[in-house]
Amino acid sequence: MASLLDNKGFRRLWISQIALALGDAVMQMGLLEYFRAHGYSERTETAKMFFAVALPGLLLGPLAIAYVDRWQRRHVLIVSDASRAVIVGVIAAWLLPVLLGQVAFRNLFAVYLLILVIGSITTFYYPARYALIPNLVGNERLIQANTLFTTSLAIAGVGGRAIGGFVAERIGVEWAILSNAVAYVVATALVWRIQMEPHATTGGADAKESGGWADLKTGLVYIWQHPSALSLALLSAVFAFLAGVFAVEIVGYTLETLGLRTGGFGYLLVAAGAGAALGVGMVGRGKPWTKATWLPFVQLLLVGAVLILMGLTARVWITVLLLFALGAIAATILIPIDAKLQKEVDDKRRGAVFAARGMLTSATMIVAFWLQFGTKLFQRTPAPQIMLWLGFGSIAAAVLTVAMLQLGRRNPGSGSVA
């Protein structure tokens, strides 16, 4: 791992992502404290917030597939981070009069609209980021690179929530939100300093004549014909649905079932972060079992068992142990998937494949978030009961995983579309 960080370009990208993970986590906890302190339903508003983040991935996914591989990925990251810094500043300015007591109410629709814009930018950002990693490190280091990313981002995200809970409760919501704007500025500066040779793109005279829709069609055909890209993207989408429901229900579970506050929620998630660090560290060693085709099946079975146990307890110390186990398992699911896609997909189409995966995962997460603020069933169902549903759903997803892996083996296409 240490040798990866000797690569200045990769090191700067890695540090920029840690800054963003910290900033995003602190801002989310700031908004959660805003919901709690001003009498909103935390579960409902959290679902709306995540819905606003995920919706652009579905609506703009086709554009990302068509255009992201036309541009230099480093440029996409720079423009995205700078733009998001400005938008976060606008969110802070909008909520400031309420936080200062100058007005009693501000419509949260404006906040969600701005978050929607951030999500729109992120729709192009994430495919470019994932596709950029192989341009900075060799194929033989992809597992290690993705492991380092996942470990660091998991720790930063969980640590950011612990810090964010403290900052939001003790210092103020405004500072929690503004910290994210600072993180985006830091990330912009770091990526700006990455020095690299221009990579292959799908741009040029032929691309301009054919237009974006032709690129979209070609990209989708490539994904369909690739022997593993489609099945891996679908597997990611299934996991994203489960994660989407859990991301909201863990809020209600912590605040309502366990009786903790925003700060306690942040500290509770430290257990999940510690587990994630352990699990990702084990996968990062590159042992033969980490590349086994049965690994996702076993992971989803174990996730299901942990979620069922969470649904059956209301004790904080047991929940801490279960979150540790859940973090160790769940944080490792996408590492082999990301590495396999980065290694097997052609450089000129890599961004399109990750954009397609982003579109599929956004679609399933949108459904997950909508269920929790748009249906009476989920609103009226206690969080522990939904944890039980998630547990059995994860076990069902494990069975579906076997089917998708078999589909990938039987796909006759070669993925050689130009």
Structural domain includes residue 415: no
How many residues in the chain?
Answer: 418
Structural domain includes residue 72: yes
d(CA 88, CA 93): 9
Residues ≥6 apart with Cβ < 8 Å to 9: 136, 194, 195, 196
pLDDT bin (cut points 50, 70, 90) of residue 268 is confident
Structural domain includes residue 221: yes
pLDDT in tens, 76-105: 999 999 999 999 999 999 999 998 888 878
Structural domain includes residue 199: no
pLDDT the model gives residue 131:
85
Number of compact structural domains in the chain: 1
pLDDT bin (cut points 50, 70, 90) of residue 408 is low
Query: Residue 179: which CATH number?
Result: 1.20.1250.20
Q: Which two tokens stand for residue 384?
A: 């522990």
Asked whether residue 334 carries a pLDDT value surpassing 60, the answer given is yes
Structural domain includes residue 283: yes
For every residue of 378-413, DSSP letters joined together read HHHS-HHHHHHHHHHHHHHHHHHHHHHHHHHHH---
Asked whether residue 193 carries a pLDDT value surpassing 90, the answer given is yes
d(CA 17, CA 129): 10
Structural domain includes residue 378: yes
pLDDT in tens, 195-228: 887 776 655 545 444 445 665 666 667 767 766 6
Which of 173-187, 237-251, 304-318 has the least mean pLDDT? Answer: 237-251
pLDDT bin (cut points 50, 70, 90) of residue 50 is very high
Which one of 171-185, 233-247, 318-332 scores highest in mean pLDDT?
171-185
The full 3-state SS of 297-334, as one line of letters, equals HHHHHHHHHHHHHHHCCCCHHHHHHHHHHHHHHHCCCH
Which structural domain range is residue 385 located in?
8-193+210-410
Model confidence, pTM:
0.78
pLDDT the model gives residue 95:
94
d(CA 310, CA 48): 24
Share of residues in the chain with pLDDT > 90 (%): 42
Structural domain includes residue 417: no
Phi, psi of 314 (to 5 degrees): -130, 20
Structural domain includes residue 416: no
What are the Cα distances from residue 293, in Å, to 55, 140, 191, 336?
31, 19, 35, 10
